[in-house]
Amino acid sequence: MKKILDLITDEVTKAFVECGYDAKYARVTLSNRPDLCEYQCNGAMAAAKEYKKAPFMIADEIVAILEKNPIFAMAESVKPGFLNLKIDEAYLAEYVRKMQEDEGRFGCEKSKNPKTIMIDYGGPNVAKPLHVGHLRSAIIGESVKRIGKFMGHNMIGDVHLGDWGLQMGLIITELRLRHPDLVYFDEAYEGEYPKEAPFTISELEEIYPTASKKSKEDAAYKDAAMQATFELQHGRRGYQALLSHILNVSVTDLKRNYENLNVSFELWKGESDAQPYIPDMVQKMKEDGFAYISDGALVVDVKEDTDTKEIPPCMILKSDGASLYNTTDLATIVWRMKDYNPDELIYVVDKRQELYFTQVFRCARKTGLVKPETELKFLGFGTMNGKDGKPFKTREGGVMRLEYLVSSVNEEMLKKITENQKSKENLDISEDEAKEIAKTIALAAIKYGDLSNQASKDYIFDIDRFTSFEGNTGPYILYTIVRIKSILKKYYALGKQVEGQITGAHSPSEKNLMLELSKFNAVMENALEEIAPHKICSYIYDLANAFNSFYHGTKIMAEEDELVQASYIKLLELTKSILETCIDVLGFSAPERM
């Protein structure tokens, strides 16, 4: 369906052209004075210059035409030359009715030229527990992926595991110290390695920090770890077998964690998967004259004349020939292009890596790893801080594990629900159900709390505010959906056989609700264009508010005119569907009751 703003712009354009003015002046926007009007057009002000006429004269001419147009309930010119517009209620109701008929899409068309978009998010590091720093990438990336899917694109999410650094050598070194007799360390061994990993996830999560700490205090230990890393990267069989055990054990645990967050990936590739592509890539960069030796290291210049700040060269290989984070990212681009030929690559990573990605993108473009038309986008996110404004930590000052954070929000939510139930003396919710509900709301609290901020901004994780049922929060949105569900249930239980449909708005609050609903397609399109899930959050907040004022001002169940009542119900159904569609693309869901 055409966006409602475009439909209105079409009418205003006709009026401008009829009066002899250029169509470009007819652009209509949402009103920034909702107390005066719903839509506005400031074109007369701009046209005044070209046509050397007072803006209000132009505005008056346009109004004279628009006044006769049935799609407007009001067309007014306001000095010095603004055009203020209100839409006709029947026209609006018709638009909203058509949205409802368009099941599942609600007037939002899929993209006419679907793209293949690969999205790199999550980015956990193998053998290290997920911490809150990984939360944002997972939440934002998942939502961007879902928005893209909804808009009809082929979205491929890749977790891009950090599985190729010194951390692997550290684990191997520590394991060797503890269990020198394991077959993996016997260089003469040529048989098959055991299927079973020689450690569990909790051991793994203990081994890594122990080894990391030791390597900082003991130079010989660190050397051993570097040597192990080198041997692993150069194909030592026993170490490669250990690497697959580490990967398997870690990935199983990561999947479980991501599942709890309603986050999933199409691809579970890691840095190590890029290794086979490195030699050829490096060779070609050298042959093409892009890569050269500087201070022993192999680099590619990526600075450009228009740079206002220094962009250092992109390092491809260290002086000892070892590959780096950059090398892996570049070689990852190689296989992504080869296997999937994406039109676009989006990276959802901490914004502190922005300079790094500028180097990688420029290098990839310059050396021809991507096509000229391939888009490379960096979506950098800010830090999640505690109430003290400093990066979120445990009470003891350690790194906050993601699981711990999630379970503390779950507990807080369970407390609230239990209190809520008691106050309503509605104690028929079993303990198990209450736990399930708490989990669902907690996830909404966490995700909405994150996504409602522009991604690039830092934000404060405030558990009291995020879990509140009032204000701009996830639980408030869910509460609104649950409220609608409960009214609908009551209505359906009456078993009325009324063929209802949305008819004209019966009150200003109902019209306002329809106005909000009608924005849906424009909001979704814009959220993808700007890669901005927060736009969907602010939309559903406005929509939930519009619904709640309609609800408070309208006797829905007591309405005597059955057709009017049926129209209300249809409107409720549409509001519910749109809210549910939106929270689904944000990556959470609503319970049946709460």
**Which strands make up the sheet holding 291-294, listed edge to edge?**
291-294, 297-300, 314-317
For ligand ARG, which is the closer residue by CB, 11 or 329? 329
Lookup: tokens for 353 = 């890596």
Length of the chain: 594
Beta bridge partners of 291: 300
For ligand ARG, which is the closer residue by CB, 347 or 461? 347
Lookup: tokens for 568 = 């209300």
**Minimum CB distance to ligand ARG, residue 253 (Å):** 16
For ligand ARG, which is the closer residue by CB, 9 or 137? 137
Q: How far is CA 319 from CA 143, 225, 294, 330, 582, in A?
A: 40, 19, 9, 18, 50
For ligand ARG, which is the closer residue by CB, 349 or 569? 349
**Minimum CB distance to ligand ARG, residue 396 (Å):** 22
**Which secondary structure element, helix H or strand E, spans residue 317, and what is its range?**
strand 314-317
Query: Is the preceding peptide bond at 80 cis, omega within 30 degrees of 0?
Result: yes
- Let me know: does 135 contact 405? Beta carbons within 8 Å: yes
Nearest to 341 by CA among 113, 114, 111, 116: 116
**Minimum CB distance to ligand ARG, residue 364 (Å):** 12
Q: How far is CA 241 from CA 19, 225, 238, 245, in A?
A: 78, 17, 5, 6
For ligand ARG, which is the closer residue by CB, 134 or 153? 134
Cα dihedral 465, 469, 470, 476 in deg (nearest 10): 110
For ligand ARG, which is the closer residue by CB, 144 or 522? 144
For ligand ARG, which is the closer residue by CB, 46 or 166? 166
**Minimum CB distance to ligand ARG, residue 530 (Å):** 21
**Minimum CB distance to ligand ARG, residue 534 (Å):** 21
For ligand ARG, which is the closer residue by CB, 292 or 335? 335
Lookup: tokens for 513 = 């609700």
For ligand ARG, which is the closer residue by CB, 160 or 506? 160
Nearest to 12 by CA among 73, 81, 85: 85
At 190, the amino acid letter reads: E
**Minimum CB distance to ligand ARG, residue 347 (Å):** 6
DSSP state of 471: S
Nearest to 466 by CA among 485, 486, 451: 451
**Minimum CB distance to ligand ARG, residue 545 (Å):** 37
**Dihedral sign from CA coordinates of 71, 73, 76, 82:** negative
**Minimum CB distance to ligand ARG, residue 349 (Å):** 4
Beta bridge partners of 84: 40, 76
For ligand ARG, which is the closer residue by CB, 266 or 542? 266
**Dihedral sign from CA coordinates of 488, 571, 262, 138:** negative
For ligand ARG, which is the closer residue by CB, 199 or 347? 347
Nearest to 233 by CA among 267, 200, 199, 279: 279
Residue least distant from ligand ARG (Cβ)? 123
Q: How many Å apart are CA 298 and CA 317, to the nearest integer?
A: 5
List interacting residues with ligand ARG (CB under 6 A): 120, 123, 125, 160, 162, 329, 347, 349
**Minimum CB distance to ligand ARG, residue 20 (Å):** 56
**Minimum CB distance to ligand ARG, residue 329 (Å):** 5
DSSP state of 3: -
- Let me know: does 366 contact 153? Beta carbons within 8 Å: no
For ligand ARG, which is the closer residue by CB, 162 or 342? 162
DSSP state of 78: E
**Minimum CB distance to ligand ARG, residue 160 (Å):** 5
φ, ψ at 29 (rounded to 5°):
-125, 170
For ligand ARG, which is the closer residue by CB, 261 or 583? 261
**Minimum CB distance to ligand ARG, residue 323 (Å):** 13
Q: How far, in whole angstroms, is CA 412 from its chain's centroid?
A: 25
- Let me know: does 473 contact 540? Beta carbons within 8 Å: no
For ligand ARG, which is the closer residue by CB, 329 or 412? 329
**Minimum CB distance to ligand ARG, residue 583 (Å):** 27
**Minimum CB distance to ligand ARG, residue 555 (Å):** 54
Nearest to 196 by CA among 183, 186, 207, 180: 183
Q: State whether residue 266 is helix, strand or coil.
A: coil
For ligand ARG, which is the closer residue by CB, 314 or 513? 314
Apex CA 576: angle with CA 572 and CA 582, to 5°?
145
Q: What is the Rg, in whole angstroms, of the alpha carbon atoms belonging to the chain?
A: 29
**Minimum CB distance to ligand ARG, residue 133 (Å):** 7
Which residue has 């609800």 as its token pair?
551
Nearest to 269 by CA among 156, 112, 387: 156
